[in-house]
Amino acid sequence: MPKNLLNLCLQSCKANGGKGKRMSLASFFESIPEKQRNLQLGLACDNPMSGAFPHKRVVHAGLNGTLISPKETQSVWDTVMSGSPKKGQMQCAYIHIPFCKTKCTYCGFFQNGTSQSIEDKYIDGLIGELKLASESPRLKDGLIHAVFIGGGTPTSLSPANSERLLKAIKEYLPLANDYELTLEGRIHDLIPENLEVWMNNGVNRMSIGIQSFNTKVRQMVGRLDTKETVLERLAALKAYGQCSVVIDLIYGLPGQTMEVWEQDLADLVKSGVDGADLYQLNVFDGSDLNRDITSGKVPPAATTSMQGDMFEFGRTYLEARAYRRLSAAHWSANNRERSLYNILAKAGVPMFPFGSGAGGNVDGYGMMLHRALKPYEDMVSRGEKPFMALMKQSDLQPFVNQVVSQLEQGYLNINTLVAMDSRLDELNWLYKLWEKRGLVLYNGLLYKLTSAGEFWTVNITQSTLEAMEYIITGKNSFALESVAAQDTKTTSKENPNQEIRGIGQGKANISVPTDEQTEAQRKEALMTKAKEEIAKSGASGESANRMIQTMANLSADEIEYMMERMMS
């Protein structure tokens, strides 16, 4: 039996009563430990925005997959790629550039520095990987509707290599007429010689990591440019008129008071960009930012409770100015911004991965490509897909895609799930509970997230998936990651073998066992090591998040096995 974090055999047996018949969903949640129940169901409170859950417990929601033996990965992939695409199916591609010129402290991953020769060689291999895939029926006979070039810092590529890669994308990927091609990057690279290449070679969406316009806040976390430079370069990019311009803002950064956050939002509107992603800061254990906060080098980051206030303020501010909320974190200022890649990725459509450290999924298989440059380049030169790991997705993946996609859009229509499996009508019990607690509203057809529900989307989604898995399979799965180090931590006086997380302002504490012999502790230690290895590879952003998400949904044994592959 695969074991997720805290998913112990004893609990699974208890959930099934040792027999084939399972308990009702309500009885199941009543039977599990209070700590787990509070994290899955949340807490009744007067202010659900700050107190509906003890804390955020995962970065991305999902369920377990099963690793394919390395001996079989190439043959399985060849079979997949020799198949035919579904007519009319939307698809996307993710291309990873694993290089960064500087490191931001809030990023939990070391960014590879690079030389021109290393970059040239990498682009040679990446183009070779694209060319090899272009010959397969599964790719060439379908259409790619969205391409995301992420990293790392893709805009740091030389103009010559940017042009080579963009031309290869147009040559080897079957782009739909209305394709979206996003280039991710930083403000420091928005200079004329780069812009000319990008705009002349098919880029029609730029995603720029601003994080904050405030110069002091930016430079505290490793960003280079001043507010004035940021606004000037965004204006220059907009002046080309050739692409949708979207920026990332983070709320909860050290030194980012509510007044600073309000000014960040005002500067967003002033900049005239087409859209924005408002991301909640995750302070990871072991990150440079967490060390800087602990040492007093920078002020503390906002607690989860304070982040809830910032989320609500940002939501109200943008809605009042006619911005449209496209998904959990994405806002559009006008019809030019579609956020197509992000929406398709959350819907679980086929995503073809290319580049060292890239992740994706195709026809029931999830995958991560080798994170180290040498094995990546060697495998591509042999005509192989450079897998670090290939996984068979959960049999419940079609259900997962429905839940994640709908909740990302701010609602859940349980009737669509009941049409797939009538037993899932029992999810209404869970959502009626959350309606009483101020997280959702039922309109007679579907449940819509309230503003508090939107803030806790990832917790709600993960708990929905775990409840769904229990209803269909009888398994008790429970994911828990260390993603909110900004929330206080102390040791329980009553039990020194327990860690207490004090969550924000007046929120209830929750005790999490820290016995090193438990499955949970073993998995957490392995995940920490895995993040270190991913960091050494230069993977970051979209790619690194997908890698971590995939590994978080595996058992400790499976992570250990994957680690052996990563270290090889």
| Tally of CB atoms within 10 A around 442 | 14
Q: For 316-328, what is each residue's pLDDT tens digit? A: 999 999 999 999 9
Q: Which residues contact 434 (CB under 8 A, 6 or more apart)?
A: 42, 440, 447, 453, 460
Local structure of residue 484 (DSSP, 8 states): B
CA neighbor of 471 nearest in space, from 21, 66, 13: 21
Q: For 277-312, what is each residue's pLDDT tens digit? A: 999 998 877 778 888 888 899 999 999 999 999 999
Residue 506 is which amino acid?
G
Cα–Cα dist 414/459, whole Å? 18
Q: Which residues contact 281 (CB under 8 A, 6 or more apart)?
A: 106, 250, 251, 252, 253, 301, 302, 307, 486
Cα–Cα dist 391/359, whole Å? 11
Residue for token pair 């090889």: 568
Q: For 463-501, what is each residue's pLDDT tens digit? A: 999 999 999 999 999 998 877 566 654 333 343 433 322
Q: Is the CB of residue 102 less than 8 Å from the CB of residue 224?
A: yes
> What does the pLDDT average to over 349-365?
97
> What does the pLDDT average to over 195-223?
94
166 pLDDT above the threshold of 70: yes
Q: Is the dihedral of CA 154, 540, 289, 56 positive or negative?
A: positive
Q: Is the CB of residue 525 less than 8 Å from the CB of residue 482?
A: no
558 pLDDT above the threshold of 70: no
User: What phi and psi values does residue 316 have, to the nearest 5 degrees?
Assistant: -65, -40
Per-residue pLDDT at 520: 62
> Alpha helix locations (H) across 42-187?
48-51, 70-81, 116-134, 137-140, 159-172
- Using pLDDT thresholds of 50, 70 and 90, give the confidence band for residue 453: very high
18 pLDDT above the threshold of 50: no
- Give the residues across from 330 on adjacent strands: 277
Average pLDDT, the chain: 86
Q: Is the peptide bond before 152 cis (omega within 30 degrees of 0)?
A: yes
14 pLDDT above the threshold of 60: no
Give Cα 474 distance to the centre of its chain. Answer: 27
| Tally of CB atoms within 10 A around 66 | 14
515 pLDDT above the threshold of 60: no
504 pLDDT above the threshold of 90: no
53 pLDDT above the threshold of 90: yes
